[in-house]
Amino acid sequence: MKKVLIIGGGLAGCFVATRLQDTCAVTIVTKGDRRESNSMLAQGGIAASLDPGDSPQSHEEDTMKAGVYHNDEAAVKQLVTLGPKLIKALIAAGMTFDRHPDGPLSFGLEGAHSHHRILHANGDQTGEALTSFVQQQLHHVIWQTQVEALQLVVQNGACQGVLVRHLATGKQEVLVADAVVLATGGLGNLFDFTTNDRTVTGDGIALAAREGVKLTDMAFVQFHPTLLSIDHHCYGLITEAIRGAGAILVDENDTKIMAGVPCADLAPRDVVARHLTAWQAQGHQLFLDISKVANFEQHFPGVTANLDKHHVPFRQTSRIPIQPGAHFMMGGVAADLNAGTSLPRLWAVGEVACNRVHGANRLASNSLLDCLVSGQKAADSIQQMPEQALSPMTVTTPPARPIHLPALAALQKRAWADLGVERTRPQLQAFLRWLQQFNYAQLAAANLSADELTRANLCLCSQLIAQAALAEPKSLGAHYMKEDAHATD
């Protein structure tokens, strides 16, 4: 029986596991617990052309347009055609999405979509509902929680396993496998203002980069326009679906910030985030006006609970204080249409992977869909892979050396200033010069504490972003060079 090792316990990794658990020995390794992933936090929903008036072709065009046609067309076609089939299968298996009182599925609208095609579950708690449902289908899987991946083990030109550390004891061991699947999410915690779960720290990208696995599109980091902002601190996502339901972006004077912009408040995320950033830079406060949203508390129970938790008086003001923040990584470990990487026997699924389905700017609510599609394709590919003879392995760790790393807060502050919504060539160059004083590239992961490894991984990821941004010839989607006179909103 083939051994499959999945690094990451969000929707993508768990969906791979559901497809392989009956024929393979599957182990899921996650450095947090089963509920700690970006998938669990996803509010907006999952996009699919299931409405009779919609079509995969329309969804494809919306995805390509939002991605500024930097997308791989074959990957987009795969997403919009296979995705609905997988959702139908989940519904047949018992997954419950929100419906109208008379029975049909209820479809929401989000930015840059030309149709109401967003499925929700429990209002704005789709990610939690869907990920929990998929996890409940896992009956023959070994979970190793509170275990972090330190190094891919490569022998004979192929990935043969992963060196891991049990966080409770510090014990390190090599887990051998016929197939290793990276499902670690993105790198949102490179920035202090982020929607990402605390565990999402660029681990999969760093694991791959250190072994020379091909990466791609690292310049493209998506910043979501609306994060709950109180006293310059972030307290979670304010889903785009609220704007789809009629909310608008205003400042302290009730000026409509997006007035005059094509698609206004439902423009692509990169456009909205830049406009809000520019407005904020002029000294304005940013709010989401929800006065036109019917039955707000009923439709958005998760956001409502979060607002109440932080004592936001939205019932009196009809306003939610917001600002842009880091949300999603379009780039990552280069993957083909079967989620295969440049390293044999290594696959990558979900946000850690980049098969260019999202292009330069992810279309809203395509991420959960991609988790299902890339997960299915990875599982299909692994099923067809020949089994190999596995034997125990050890990894030789080089001698420890002095550690010189930035404080996490200092790195996040620099990254937000220099790698954020708007960039300049001098800022990117200055950021890389600043990084040169640290020795993250020379440190062996096995010699680092969990905190040190997080900082080293994020340093490496930030270097890759800055270098890729400098190599991009022009502004494109989420990569916006401020001095580029030809860049357009």
Catalytic annotation, residues: 269
Residue 38 · residue 418 · CB < 8 Å = no
Task: Look at phi and psi of residue 10 and say left if phi exceeds 0, alpha if psi is from -120 to 50, else beta.
Answer: beta
- Tell me the β-bridge partners of 250: 256, 287
Residue 47 · residue 365 · CB < 8 Å = yes
Residue 419 · residue 194 · CB < 8 Å = no
Coil/strand/helix, residue 369: helix
Coil/strand/helix, residue 9: coil
List CB contacts of 120: < 8 A, sequence separation 6 or more.
Answer: 44, 45, 97, 98, 106, 108, 126, 241
Instruction: Quote the tokens at residue 104.
Output: 């049909």
The length of the chain, given as a count of residues: 489
Per-residue burial over 33-68, b = 16 or more CB atoms within 10 Å of its CB, e = otherwise: ebbbbbbbbbbbbbbbbbeeebebebbbebbbbbbb
CA distance 269 to 62: 13
**Cα separation values, 459 from 410, 446, 463, Å:** 11, 17, 6
